[in-house]
Amino acid sequence: VFKLKFQLLKAILFLYLLIIFIILPIIEISIFIQVGGFLGTFNTILIIFLTAAVGVYFVRQQGFRTFQKIGVELQNQQIPVQGMFDGLVILIAGILLVTPGFLTDIIGFLGLVPQTRVFLLAVVKNFFFQRYSNAQKQYKKDINETIDGDFIEIEEDHEEK
C-alpha cells in the first residue's frame, strides 16, 4: 500500500513539474508572440517590466500590511491563520509577478486581491477538512461492522465489614 501511494505521489509531482516547466512556458511564449505581434517588441518588453515593477510595489505594500496584521493578532493571543495564509499567497504572487509572462502576471495580481485570498483559504480549508478530518473517517465506517476482541470478566467482591 505504501509503495502504491508513493508511486502515485511521484506521478502527481511529475505532472505538476511538467505543467510548471514545460506547459506554462509554452503558453507564455505563445502569448508573447501574440502580444508582440499586436503591440510590437519594445512595447511588449516595456509592459513586462512595468507589471514586474508595479507588482513588486504592491507585494511590498501588502506584505508589510499583512506582517502588521499578524503582529496584532499575536498580541491579542489569536492564531493568525488568515494572516499566515495571506503572507504565503502574497509571496507566491510576488514570485509570479517577477517571472516574465502575462499569464503569471494575471495569476500574481489575483493573489494580491484580498477577496481572492479569502476564497483560496476557504477552498484550502475545505480540501484539508475533507481529506484529513477524523470526523469524515468516522462517518465512512459501516455501522454494522463487527469488531472482534477478547475480554476478561472482572468480578468485584462486595463484602461488608
pLDDT digits (tens, 9 = 90+) for 77-132: 999 999 999 999 999 999 999 999 999 999 999 999 999 999 999 999 898 888 77
Check pLDDT > 80 for residue 2.
no
C-alpha dist (Å) from residue 136 to 5, 10, 93, 130, 140: 20, 26, 33, 7, 6
Reported as a single tens digit per residue, the pLDDT across 141-159 is 555 667 777 878 888 766 5
DSSP string, the chain: -HHHHHHHHHHHHHHHHHIIIIIHHHHHHHHHHHHHHHH-HHHHHHHHHHHHHHHHHHHHHHHHHHHHHHHHHHHTT---HHHHHHHHHHHHHHHHHHSS-HHHHHHHHHHTSHHHHHHHHHHHHHHHHHHH-HHHHHHHS-TT----------PPP----
**pLDDT bracket for residue 6 (50, 70, 90):** confident
**pLDDT bracket for residue 3 (50, 70, 90):** confident
In this structure, the number of other CB atoms found within 10 A of the CB of residue 139 comes to: 9
Question: Is the pTM of the predicted complex or chain greater than 0.85?
Answer: no
